Chains A and B, each alone.
Chain A
Amino acid sequence: MIRFEHISKVYENATPHKDVNGVINKGDVVTIIGPSGTGKSTLLRMINGLEKPTSGKIYFNDEEITAPGYDLLNLRRKVGMIFQSFNLFNNLSVLDNLVVPQIDILKLDKITSRERAMETLKKVGLDRQAGKMPNQLSGGQKQRVAIARALVMNPEVILFDEPTSALDPTMVNEVENTIKWLASNNTTMVIVTHDMKFAREVSTRIFYMDEGEIYEEGTPEEIFDHPKRSRTKAFISNERVLDLNIDAEKINPDRINDMIRDFCKSQKLDEKYLYNITSVFEELVLQCILSYKKDAKIAFSVFFNGEFLEYKVKFNGDRHDPLQEDSISVRIIQSNIANYSFRYHPQSDKQNSLKFNSQ
């Protein structure tokens, strides 16, 4: 149904795709997983033409959609899409969110589109909310309305771009259950997610993306239980460790915040842990270490052992224990951590090495 042939995508300072090849068949539920920055979302957005590959071809039902002049409007009417941030139309009621696209795009009349809309809302269990405005709904309900809005257009395939990432953990389930229900009805779907448990449960096939290609693909069992290639193995086993290697000269705090957030999502860690990691990172790395040594190279890793977070931080240079200073930052760190230990080996690697737990 969908076929990628030698897709590459080149940005000015990054090359997420070098040579992506793959096939998605009718009835498939394909989940795309992989480390951050490997172009999972970009690949998904190429399927309905929101992004264009730098080179390579994409086929939809054996038509080349990357050909110049291809009727993208028509393609997009056959491909539904669910976004991380729901993207409901805020000025329209829940019902009208489903009615207006039918009138404007499918050119159906008001009565038919209203009937179809109510029918679809019933399927996702929201027919009672039809008269509400989007801002009166919870995040989970909003995402279910978005799914209904995609469904009501009768798409041949539905794309999910991190559908639960923006949700409060308590609401992830209702959305995931809706998607599982769709999967049980043989809807063709392509999903990008960080939630490995969900990926395993819902998918018929997994694409593991890394090194600018679909590095390994297979059934959930093959990928999660018996990965064949080294990077897949590392990703699956290291999935529970957040590893940040920071070069002071190229630091990008936004990207690091995203990685911390993704890590908490995938581990289903709640706000408390997210706050712990973010504040330790900001106070210790950004404040204490980088203000002491402007060109520090820092390794920052967090592991969740099921009970608390285990931190390991290393940085190069002369002996310096950042927690010996007396500053607001240090106090904030101390209020967040326990079992602090500091080591320095002047003879061997000249690394300051810190170890501690979350409280």
Chain B
Amino acid sequence: MWNKKKEKKMKMFRKILLVLLLLLPLAGCGSSEKDESVIENIDELNGRNMGCMSGSIFDVLIEKTFPASEIIYFGSRSELLLGLTTNKIDGFVSDEPVAMMMVKQNGEVTYLDEAIGEVNYGICFSNESKDKLAQFNDYLKKLDDSGELETLQEKWINPEGASKKKGEYDLDGRNGTLRCVTTPDAAPFSFVSNNDYQGYEAQLLYGFAQEYGYDIEISTVSFDALLTSVAMNKYDIAFNGIYITEERAKSVNFCTPTYTGRVVAMVRNNAVSESKGFVESIKDSFYKNFIEEDRYKLLLSGALVTVIISFLSIVFGTLFGLLIYIVSTFNRYTKKILDSLQKILSKLPAVVLLMLLFYVVFKKSTIAATIVSIIGFSVIFGFTFYGLLKTGVASIDKGQNEATVALGFEKWIAFFHIIMPQVLKVILDTYLSEVIALIKNTSIVGYVSVSDLTRASDIIRGRTYDALFPLVFVAIIYYLLCTLETAIIKIPFKWYINMKVEYND
């Protein structure tokens, strides 16, 4: 009775927490206190806190232009924007095409007219695709000569660029397929709209493919892994409005610049402060993040991918763990080998292992990244389960095993009928928390070009420049997925543990 009451209270408590979590983005929507000072030129910005994307080339520019400023590093453009609107920084540096998009999406910011530098954009080709690079440069040259390139630039690179379509292309693929990869968070160069790849560079590639008889296949990967995946020849072409830098040119081959853009400074737009109502702004965020351009579809397909990868990895991993446990009992040597493998694997971050698997082990194979992820996580989970089984079996007193031997049980019948149900009972709770850990861990598959739930929210954030709303929403989906999957996984385990030759009085 007491326990039921307690259980009920716990459930209530959990619901309240969940609602609070849901309300979190609303707090972000509320207006924070504004710094009313208006910055109108570059000199005024000198000495204020400047934001910079970590790993970008802009920190050098900032140091040169704003020597008195302190640089604060952020992980992505949407975070920079959030930092600016919440007064953590007073300005940051961005290329103009992207700056235009941000201003369009978020009325609270604007950029200064004065350019502080210039940047070249380029598409990367792998070492094995140098012939295609030459063809592409020829294609660009032709477009430039005919003035078509300028038309395209005018079409895409303006505040309305993200609502344009690349048009229909007829690809026959007679000369093969271009394996392309992008992080579609760089509108207007590369982005996803209505579940299709769009953007200036996307259109360039489609035009090129049509003219040179290629087919196109596009994958998504997180920006951190974008250049690596091409440098490792996993893909032929990477595009994402990538800035051409000397450093990057060492590992990949850039085409002649597709566009040369200005670099500008973003600041808060205090001039126009039309403050929207609370409910209004939530509605707005919801529409922008989920409804517009069918973005909820992106989230749903991402969630489906997460479910497929995690669920199959748990099923295969569990079977694999059981299999290697059985193999480990064959003799001393198999046990030693498996134990050391387990020790090594347990000390490797999953993301490192997955990238090794994808970019090194399966480098030449054309197996889909989703399958590679399932293989990777099955192996990881298999060894986790193997470790659990070992401790579980060790916790069952040896006497019972001896009793089965003395009774004349065959080894594996005794194991599965007598020992295993007890082992599973001991390890079930730990097992379920490992299941949850695995589901959460699958959020790294973006590194190997799988569009899972986390990746989907990254893509949305890259377009809407709204950090909180998609993140919290994704957090809730993860919570539901974990609850659902553990509940499902628990069923066969409970059934097996409680399996009995029923006793009838």
Contact = CB atoms under 8 A, between A and B. Distances in A.
Contact of B418 (A75, A91, A130): A91
Interface stretch (B140-148, B177-185, B398-406): B398-406
Interface of B: 397, 399-400, 402-403, 405-410, 413-414, 417-418, 421-422, 425, 497, 500-501, 503, 505
A93 B408 contact: no
B425 A73 contact: no
B403 A83 contact: yes
Contacts of A87: 397, 399-400, 402-403
Main secondary structure of the interface of B (DSSP, over half): helix
Contacts of B402: 50, 83, 87
A149 B408 CA distance: 12
Interface string A76-88: 1101110101111
Nearest to B416: A104
B222 to A, nearest CB: 46
A96 B499 CA distance: 11
Contacts of A89: 400, 403, 418
A101 interface: yes
Contacts of B505: 131
A106 to B, nearest CB: 9
B418 A92 contact: yes
A347 interface: no
A73 B408 contact: yes
Contact of A91 (B403, B408, B413, B425): B425
A50 B410 CA distance: 14
Contacts of B414: 104
A331 B501 CA distance: 57
B399 A100 contact: no
A83 B407 contact: no
A74 interface: yes
B409 to A, nearest CB: 6
A288 B128 CA distance: 81
A90 B408 contact: no
Contacts of A79: 406
A284 interface: no
Given A91-B425, A93-B503, A131-B503, A100 B418 contact: yes
7 contacts: A75-B408, A76-B406, A83-B399, A87-B397, A89-B400, A91-B421, A105-B407
B317 to A, nearest CB: 25
A152 to B, nearest CB: 10
Contact of B500 (A85, A93, A150): A93
A8 interface: no
A86 to B, nearest CB: 8
- For this complex, into which size category does the number of interface residues on chain A fall? 35 or more
B400 A50 contact: no
Contact of A73 (B397, B399, B410, B501): B410
A48 interface: yes
**Nearest 9 pairs between A and B by C-beta?**
A76-B408, A87-B403, A77-B408, A87-B399, A81-B406, A91-B422, A85-B399, A91-B421, A99-B501
Contacts of B500: 92-93, 96
Contact of B503 (A80, A130, A153): A130
A114 B425 CA distance: 26
A75 to B, nearest CB: 8
A103 B501 contact: yes
A95 interface: yes
A70 B205 CA distance: 74
Contacts of A104: 409-410, 413-414, 417
A110 interface: yes
Nearest to A78: B408
Interface string A98-140: 0111011100001000100000000000000011000000000
Contact of A85 (B397, B408, B421, B497): B397
Interface string A185-213: 00000000000000000000000000000
Contacts of A90: 400, 422
A100 B414 CA distance: 10
A18 B422 CA distance: 41
B306 to A, nearest CB: 35
Given A90-B422, A93-B503, A131-B503, 7 more contacts: A73-B408, A83-B403, A86-B399, A91-B425, A95-B501, A105-B407, A105-B408
A103 B407 CA distance: 12
A76 B503 contact: no
B198 to A, nearest CB: 59
A345 to B, nearest CB: 51
A150 B425 CA distance: 26
Nearest to A89: B418
A96 B503 contact: yes
Interface centre among A76, A77, A87 (most CB of B within 10 A): A87
Contacts of A101: 407, 409
Contact of B405 (A50, A86, A114, A153): A50
A91 B496 CA distance: 11
B34 to A, nearest CB: 66
B127 to A, nearest CB: 60
B425 A76 contact: no
A326 B397 CA distance: 43
Q: Which of B403, B407, B418 has the most CB of A within 10 A?
A: B407
A114 B503 CA distance: 9
B19 to A, nearest CB: 41
Among B406, B417, B497, B505, max chain A CB count under 10 A is at B406
B400 A153 contact: no
A197 to B, nearest CB: 27
